Amino acid sequence: MITFPIPVRDADLLRVVRQWNDALAIQDVATAFQMTYHDPEDSWTPALLAQAASNYDAGTGDDQARITLWDTATVADVRPQHEVTWFEQPNHRRSPPVVGYIWVDLPYGGQWSDVTAIFNILQIDTQLVLELESIHVM
């Protein structure tokens, strides 16, 4: 899992999210999975992550119907949004506490799409980590 110092720049977090995206795009699910934090009760597995990365247009027979490389995505109907939000107070209802989240639109089939990944930003001791919350269509 990739760790970040406190404080961290938003750009550094988004750079790692881009690397995570590109690992999925080249179907290196193991690397993408290892980049993020996984709670022992986490439902994400490498197989589920691979399925989520290529399931948006399931059944179309289109082999491009999957997350694709970040830098090669073109704008069609959707302009990508990528934002980092920090909480004023950490959410201590869970451990490790959530201190913010990242919302990123993902390139799908070579174009920016309405497929969105949401990452929690967690604080573990004196470091931050990313935890994949969801991949879904917004």
Confidence of residue 37 (pLDDT cuts 50, 70, 90): very high
CA distance linking residue 105 with residue 111, whole number of Å:
10
Q: What is the Rg, in whole angstroms, of the alpha carbon atoms belonging to the chain?
A: 15
**What per-residue confidence (pLDDT) applies to 53?**
84
Q: What are the structural domains, with CATH classification, of the chain?
A: 4-137 (3.10.450)
**What per-residue confidence (pLDDT) applies to 94?**
86
Q: Who has greater pLDDT, 75 or 88?
A: 88
| 63 has pLDDT over 80 | no
Percent of the chain with pLDDT over 70: 91
**What per-residue confidence (pLDDT) applies to 41?**
86
Which one, of 88, 73, 81, lies nearest residue 102 by Cα?
81
SS3 72: helix
CA distance linking residue 120 with residue 85, whole number of Å:
10
List the structure tokens of 126: 């004196």
